Amino acid sequence: MTTPTTDTGSTPTVVAADPLAQKFGKLVLYARKARCMAQRDVAEAVGCTQPHIVNLEKGRVDPDLSLAARLMEVLGIDYRNVFDMPKRRRRAA
């Protein structure tokens, strides 16, 4: 079930119902709190609104790829954590 909403006031997005959106939202929430950042600060840093950050953290919306990339950069989230990818080990030479 999806419901239209707006992220920055101009671009319509869809309410997320998938586990990946919920996981990404939790990663954003934990990373933001670990850096002692307010939602407003994150929103300003990535170019969206504070209510959109709320919806992302609650897993209600899927970020577009460019927003997801900006969030991961600002909050120091490793993309492998989003997709449950194991970190590669270096082979001993």
Q: How many degrees, rounded to 5, is the angle at CA 22 between CA 4 and CA 16?
A: 15
In this predicted model, what pLDDT tens digit does every residue of 18-60 receive, in sequence order? 888 888 999 999 999 999 999 999 999 999 999 999 999 999 9
In a domain, residue 7? The reply is no
Tell me the pLDDT band of 92, cut-offs 50, 70 and 90: low
Structural domain count, the chain: 1
Domain that holds residue 60: 38-75
In a domain, residue 65? The reply is yes
In a domain, residue 93? The reply is no
Q: How many CB atoms lie within 10 A of CB 23?
A: 15
In a domain, residue 56? The reply is yes
